[in-house]
Amino acid sequence: MGPHGNVNPPLRSPDDRDALCEALVEGVIDAIATDHAPHDLAAKEGGANGFHGFETAVGVVLGLGLDGRTVYRACVSRPREIVSQSLEDEWILIDPHAEWRVEAASFRSRGKNTPFQGRRLRGRVIMTVCRGQVVTERVMQHA
């Protein structure tokens, strides 16, 4: 992964990830969040921690074998409850079957670094609505 995988806390082993998934399903862990850190390559090579997470999080989390309801609860509805925000005017549409290849150059973010470059993921955010306005929209398509 080189500098693209440089994060704090560090990426964990498969056994650690399995234990975290089990804790999420059992309700021990309430939510999943990303710390979007759009560093350029020079900053990453200089040791900056973090990587792009907005566009890859759903596909990566679904790739852990979690069902769509668990992912939605952990990534969307439970975080909203925790910060006491209404879901009325803010929501996302996820296509859990969308298969796509991670191409950092196509990210909407200024940060183009990701340890998932070139990886095929299943599951993608198709639309986000914030304060009643469409912020992001993709055509639903399957590979």
Please give the chain's pLDDT, 143 residues, in tens: 666 777 778 888 999 999 999 999 999 999 988 877 777 778 878 888 878 777 888 899 988 888 878 888 898 888 888 887 666 677 778 888 899 999 988 887 777 888 899 999 998 888 888 888 888 777 655 44
Q: How many domains does the chain have?
A: 1
Q: Give residue 139's pLDDT.
A: 61
Strands (E), 1-143: 91-101, 120-130, 133-137
Residue 89 counted as domain residue: yes
Structure tokens at 79: 């975080």
pLDDT in tens, 93-116: 888 889 999 998 888 777 788 889
Spatial distance between the Cα atoms of 143 and 137, rounded to a whole number of angstroms: 18
| Residue range(s) defining the domain that contains residue 48 | 2-137
Sequence-separated (6 or more) residues with CB below 8 Å from residue 54? 34, 36, 107, 108, 109
Residue 17 counted as domain residue: yes
Residue 112 counted as domain residue: yes
Residues annotated as catalytic (active site), given as ranges: 35
Residue 142 counted as domain residue: no
Edge-to-edge order in the sheet of strand 91-101? 91-101, 120-130, 133-137
CATH number of the domain enclosing 92: 3.20.20.140
CA 7, 95, 88: angle at the middle one, nearest 5? Answer: 90
Q: Give residue 140's pLDDT.
A: 56
Q: Give residue 141's pLDDT.
A: 52
Residue 143 counted as domain residue: no
Residue 109 counted as domain residue: yes
Q: Give residue 120's pLDDT.
A: 96
